[in-house]
Amino acid sequence: MQKRKLGNKLEVSAIGLGCMGMSFSYGPPKDKQEMIALLRAAVERGVTFFDTAEVYGPYINEELVGEALSPLREQVVIATKFGFDLSPDRDPRGMTGAPALNSRPERIRQVAEASLKRLKIDVIDLFYQHRVDLDVPIEDVAGTVKDLIREGKVKHFGLSEASAKTIRRAHAVQPVTALQSEYSLWWRKPEEEILPTLEELGIGLVPYSPLGKGFLTGKIDQTTSFDKTDFRNTLPRFTPEAMKANMAFVDLLATLAKQKNATTAQIALAWLLAQKPWIVPIPGTTKLSRVEENIGAAAIELSAEDLREIRSAAEKIDVLGTRYPEQLEKLTGR
C-alpha cells in the first residue's frame, strides 16, 4: 500500500485501521480471536497504522491490539490516547452526562505506563490527548509528553478534536505530529481553521469516522436498527428522520462510485485522501472484506473535475442533525 507521512516524520500506510469498534461503542465486543486474526490479516495486506485508546472498553481494546500486533511490532505503528478519568464512579463515554476528563501530568504518566503493558510494547508510537482538558494548561500536557519522549516511552505527540489555538500552544512546547479529528464529506468543519493551521505547522491529520460512522457506506438507512449498546443510538444524525434526509450524501457518492467501478465507501475515502497528502483516515471495521475494500480506496484517483463536482454537490446538501449530543460536542474544538 502507498505510504504517507504525518508531521513530516511518521510514515504510515495511507489507510489506517481504527480498532475501537472491535471492543466498544458499536454493540457488544466482538470475538477476540476473530479480531486478532483480522488485525494480523490487515498487516499482511499492507496496513501499518492502528488506532486504539485506554477508554475503549475500557482497556480491553488495547489488550486486544497488544496481543494481535506485538509479534508484528517492527511492521506497525500503534497510536493510543490519554485524557479521560476512568475512576469507577465516572462515565467516560458521557452517556449519562459530560464525560470526566483528566490530563494532569501524573495521570498522563500513569496511562503511558499502563498502555505500554497492555500493548506489550516498549514505546508508544503516537500518544494523543483524547480531548482537551480545560483544567490543565495545554503547555503542561505537551511538556509531560515531551518528557516521556525524552525518556524513550513515547515517539510522537498528538491531539484530538483540539482548536487551532490549542494546537499552536501545544506545538510551541512539543511539536505535534498529528491531529485526530472527525472529517468526512458530511463533516467538513475542519476545513475552516484546522486544515490551514495544520498545513502551516507541518502537522498531519488523522480523520476518524471517515465513513460517517458507517453511514457513508450506503449500508445504513432510516430502517436500520442498532444494538441497544450501539453508540449511534445517542447521535442526532442517526435518527430515522435524519438518516432519510442525509441519504443525499450517499446518493452523491454512489453516482461517482458507479463511474469509477468502486463502492461508495471507497469514494468517500478517496475523497479524503485527495484533500491533502498528509491526511491518513482510519476507518474502523470488524470484517476482513471491509478492510480490503477500504484499502482499495488508496488506488482510486479522483480528478480535479471529480473533486469539484463532489464539493459543488455536497455544498448544496444540508446535513440534518448534529454529529454529537450536546455534552459530547462541547468537548470538541477547545
Half-sphere exposure of 214 (CA within 13 A, CB side): 20
Q: In whole angstroms, what is the distance from residue 321 CA to residue 237 CA?
A: 4
Q: In whole angstroms, what is the distance from residue 108 CA to residue 50 CA?
A: 20
Q: Which of 56, 183, 208, 324 is catalytic?
A: 56
- 8 Å CB contact between 66 and 121: yes
- 8 Å CB contact between 334 and 276: no
C-alpha cell at 289: 472484506
The verdict on whether 56 is a catalytic residue reads yes
CA torsion, ordered 61, 65, 68, 69, to nearest 10 deg: 180
Backbone angles phi, psi at 272, to 5 degrees: -60, -45
Reference 229, options 111, 57, 82; nearest CA is 57
Dmax over Cα atoms in the chain, in whole Å? 54
| Residues involved in catalysis | 56
